[in-house]
Amino acid sequence: MPKIDIASAPQSAGTAYPEEYAAPCKPRRRARLGDAAGLDQFGVNLLRLPAGAWSSQRHWHSAEDEFVWILEGEVVLVENGGETALKAGDCAGFKAGVADGHKIENRSGRDALLLEVGSRRPGQDSADYPDIDMVFPAGADRYFHRDGSPYPKHDRRT
């Protein structure tokens, strides 16, 4: 396996969330390491969360497992059952189909660095955002309101 040059890996920033839900996730930055390696079974991202940023809106996936490992800094994992502080060396996993929404918030005064790993099941996976009026149905190309009406489509990342 060839070495991956993190600095040359595809980069993404921001979010494709509808504007009313985007602000806390706009500062996030990802190096798409799995894409750099040509992986298609699962994704691997190096996620940088500046102070105050969130990894996502609180959500859960129907068909994709997720795993995060905190490499630097301190963050707060928010789930149905409450909040858990995570520091460098800690990790957490989220099983597909378990309706326990999660997000990670950086409430500290410095950047946090996380390794994200997740299944890739396009066309099979849906995501539910339990705290807000938003879902991402399997096979969709945009977010929808819970009543089935679509949000405007826009670029996933800046």
Q: Is the pTM of this model over 0.85?
A: yes
Domains along the chain with CATH numbers: 25-107 (2.60.120.10)
Tell me the per-residue pLDDT of 16-60, one tens digit each, with 9 for 90 and over: 999 999 999 999 999 999 999 999 999 999 999 999 999 999 999
**Residue 54: Cβ-neighbour burial (10 angstroms; 0-12, 13-18, 19+):** buried
Query: 25: helix, coil or strand?
Result: helix
Q: How confident is the model at residue 153 (pLDDT cuts 50, 70, 90)?
A: confident
